Amino acid sequence: MKKATGLSKEEIAAMKEYLQEKNAKTNGESAVLASIAKMPEPDRSLARRFHALVKSCAPNLVPRTWYGMPAYAKDDKVVFFFQNASKFKARYQTIGFTDKAKLDEGDMWPVVYALNKLNAAQEAKITALIKKAVG
């Protein structure tokens, strides 16, 4: 019988970041920018562009970190987040939406999107998703 391996060291690190966020007295724009600054390239450049896009199309959302990742909240609830590829050694970055996002389409719909590059076409798609997500 194989022994259960449990969480990866990346998952444990994310949980520690989450606990620090819960205990922090401040979490917002500066925390998101610090999170982005710690990312290696090309994650950092993509995250900076994504953050600027969110601020321009949904200025009412509150930036914060969530498990150490840039996230955007409404009424203190995370609606979506940016996960850099290096966070969990993935081959692409992702944009994930929580159950607070209003993306419902029938009985099944996507809530996570892979992202390798950010150009005008992707920015338009992301803008439409964000606007739909926040209603």
Q: What is the pLDDT of residue 21?
A: 80
Write the pLDDT tens digit of every residue in 37-91: 999 999 999 999 999 999 999 999 999 999 999 999 999 999 999 999 999 999 9
Task: Tell me the domains of the chain and their CATH numbers.
Answer: 9-134 (3.90.1150.200)
b/e burial code for range 107-123 (CB count within 10 A of at least 16 → b): eeeeeebebeebeeebb
Residues 57 and 70: their CA atoms lie apart, in Å, by 16
Residues 79 and 120: their CA atoms lie apart, in Å, by 23
Of the two residues 17 and 127, the one the predictor is more confident about is 127
* pLDDT of residue 128 exceeding 60: yes
Which H or E element spans position 113?
A: strand 112-115
pTM of the model as a whole = 0.87
